[in-house]
Chains A and B, each alone.
Chain A
């Protein structure tokens, strides 16, 4: 009975959304702000990747909020699951292939992650994408050897300081007479590695923070799992 009601509810919601969906002309979304940003971004921000200009320039405070969400999630998971360092040395033998593969992959992933972070203002990619790869680089050894633990101290230091760096760069702009998160420094030549002012620095902070945050989250979840089994 309950299932039937739920099914009806879902079907009704689906029908409603479909009716809305088919009501209007999808292909014709106006592009007011998007077009204005496309023409203004090269001068105002100076990044070759306009999405980066939006993420760190025009909507920079969204990005700060997003970093804070990741931080809040990882803090909350830490709060719930606690710092349980189980010293049970029940390392299931993960095999030589996994371990060797993990050791090989780690430096590779580190380089790729940093490359993607540092080229975020030029090519597709950036702090979030690169940060996820960094997190994977640190987490793969944990997967290959379940008994090892990530150093929470180091992680939380990177977490805190990179987040603080993002905010401090923004505050520096505020106290040099501009607005919070106003782009500073010389914009340089569009397309060069050293261009777009403070954007690469911001993306580096974002990348490190996302990497540390996600690695910390995964480590918490993994540690809680091993302590349960």
Chain B
């Protein structure tokens, strides 16, 4: 089963070779990327069948953990690896003038996303996270006038990486290891303390840049408003979820302390409130979707702050729902990117687009029986079970945010179907591929309604597996390391404060 490493390696290999292949044969160069992503999809599928849901670990280079780097493969990792390949394939930049380079960057994004889903080593996660960042800066900058947002995004993200690196250094100073399983073993004695909390806060802020976490999300509206819509779809749909996944893993395994949960709850709640209010106020489609995405990610963080399996279950449900809905909405916004008021009567031009938009909007708000409703229900019930005023405050905040969300989304739907001024020029029609891809997402959403019970059961199993830190430690077999944590000679150690 160690061929799962190919989902990281093959896209990288293809990315290195795409510029060369494209110079020899243009069609082969254009076909290489989608082909490799298809192979990744197939590999993930076979590994998922082979492993039958049991978690296993792969030691890169054959070095046993914690000396070497481990890839930890469980249901959640496989699910996200599969979704990565699928989404990249669906949102593949088939059009565009800079093809080979754009393809190379997209492949690198796919490889790094797969790495983020699989990696079980703190510093390795940092490397893949940076790889995702650099690839996404490049992809964002392919937009027409998106150099300025890209550079502002880069600076924020770069500073976030510095903070994350400081957090990693703190963890290493405390424990002397980077393997997540090993850290999880040492955490109760060495990381459940203020320094551990500081390290978590720093890493949270660093990784939170991609996850659109509250104070470090200023890049979101401007980047999504100027980047090509397929790139926005990838960033909002996939990359943000992977960053949230990394935070979830760290929270479950390493920083399982109450204060860490409270920090997440507060930041997530602030994200929900600010995001939804800003979306309500937004006057153009792209920025409205961007702010709404901040709100949705905030809900994911609120859910993850509920301790135990309930929180993981609710958080994953919201994250997966958003992963299906938001890329499709961004695709629909490709031609509807202008002012919201200019969309009056757009349903005349493109009825299928308007109907799809309505479907996604209904699900995003949480109208039963669409999946969005069940995801939100899980969150609300999980919050209601918790004791403590902050959780109930969060519950109220989320319900209010839902009302706000309903208000602005239904306003747009009403605008789309308005008939009063037939004189105004109808907005452009969607390109066929956009509508088709959005249709695939819509079909997925409806299939989720029909298969609700089996889906929720398998998601519950995933949540169970993910929230079980003991099982994680049992899978990764650690070689014993020297037990004396400090061998610094006494003569020199002095009296450090």
Q: Do A and B bind each other?
A: yes
Q: A residues touching B (Cβ–Cβ < 8 Å)?
A: 17, 20, 22-37, 40, 44, 57-62, 64-66, 68-69, 71-73, 75-76, 78-80, 153, 156-157, 159-161, 163-164, 167-168, 170-171, 173-174, 178-183
B60 interface neighbour in A22, A61, A66, A75, Cβ under 8 Å: A61
Which of the 9-residue segments B63-71, B251-259, B273-281 touches chain A? B63-71
A164 interface neighbour in B13, B166, B176, B198, Cβ under 8 Å: B13
Closest partner residue, chain A, to B141 (CB atom): A80
Q: How far is the CB of A2 from chain B (nearest CB, A)?
A: 15
A201 to B181 CA separation, bound complex (whole angstroms):
32
Assess whether B16 is in contact with A159, with CB atoms less than 8 Å apart: yes
Assess whether B131 is in contact with A179, with CB atoms less than 8 Å apart: no
Q: Which B residues are CB-close (under 8 A) to A25?
A: 496-497
Q: How far is the CB of A147 from chain B (nearest CB, A)?
A: 25
**B62 at interface by CB-CB < 8 Å:** yes
Assess whether A65 is in contact with B104, with CB atoms less than 8 Å apart: no
Assess whether A157 is in contact with B142, with CB atoms less than 8 Å apart: no
A-B residue pairs, 3 tightest by C-beta: A76-B138, A30-B485, A30-B176
B19 interface neighbour in A31, A156, A167, A182, Cβ under 8 Å: A156
Assess whether B66 is in contact with A32, with CB atoms less than 8 Å apart: yes
Assess whether A62 is in contact with B485, with CB atoms less than 8 Å apart: no
A73 to B485 CA separation, bound complex (whole angstroms):
39
Most buried by A among B5, B9, B68: B68
Assess whether A179 is in contact with B59, with CB atoms less than 8 Å apart: yes
Assess whether A79 is in contact with B123, with CB atoms less than 8 Å apart: no
**CB contact under 8 A between A167 and B12, given known A26-B496, A36-B479, A69-B131:** yes
Assess whether B147 is in contact with A180, with CB atoms less than 8 Å apart: no
**B137 at interface by CB-CB < 8 Å:** yes
**CB contact under 8 A between A30 and B486, given known A44-B63, A60-B61, A72-B105:** yes
Q: Which A residues are CB-close (under 8 A) to B61?
A: 57-58, 60-61, 173, 179-183
A179 interface neighbour in B2, B16, B102, B104, Cβ under 8 Å: B2
Assess whether A32 is in contact with B135, with CB atoms less than 8 Å apart: no
B37-57 interface with A by 8 A CB criterion:
none
Closest partner residue, chain A, to B128 (CB atom): A65
Q: In the complex, which range does the number of interface residues on chain B fall in?
A: 35 or more
A160 to B8 CA separation, bound complex (whole angstroms):
17
A-B contact pairs, 8 of them (CB 8 A): A20-B198, A32-B175, A59-B123, A65-B112, A65-B124, A72-B134, A79-B98, A182-B62
Most buried by B among A32, A59, A64: A32
Q: Which B residues are CB-close (under 8 A) to A160?
A: 16-17, 19-20
Q: Which B residues are CB-close (under 8 A) to A68?
A: 12, 15, 108, 111-112, 131
Q: Which A residues are CB-close (under 8 A) to B138?
A: 72-73, 75-76, 79-80
Assess whether B124 is in contact with A164, with CB atoms less than 8 Å apart: no
Our count of residue pairs bridging A and B at CB distance below 8 angstroms stands at 194
**B421 at interface by CB-CB < 8 Å:** no
Given A65-B127, A164-B17, A173-B62, output 16 extra A-B contacts at Cβ < 8 Å. Answer: A20-B195, A32-B176, A32-B177, A36-B66, A36-B67, A57-B68, A62-B123, A62-B127, A64-B12, A68-B131, A71-B108, A72-B104, A160-B20, A164-B13, A179-B58, A180-B9
**CB contact under 8 A between A36 and B20, given known A23-B195, A62-B69, A79-B105:** no
**B422 at interface by CB-CB < 8 Å:** no
**B173 at interface by CB-CB < 8 Å:** yes
Q: Which B residues are CB-close (under 8 A) to A58?
A: 61, 63, 67-69
A164 to B67 CA separation, bound complex (whole angstroms):
26
Q: Which A residues are CB-close (under 8 A) to B176?
A: 29-34
Most buried by B among A40, A66, A71, A180: A180
Q: Which B residues are CB-close (under 8 A) to A78?
A: 101
**CB contact under 8 A between A179 and B62, given known A29-B176, A30-B485, A80-B141:** yes
Closest partner residue, chain A, to B135 (CB atom): A72
Q: Which B residues are CB-close (under 8 A) to A22?
A: 497
Q: Which A residues are CB-close (under 8 A) to B105?
A: 72, 75-76, 79
B101 interface neighbour in A60, A75, A161, Cβ under 8 Å: A75
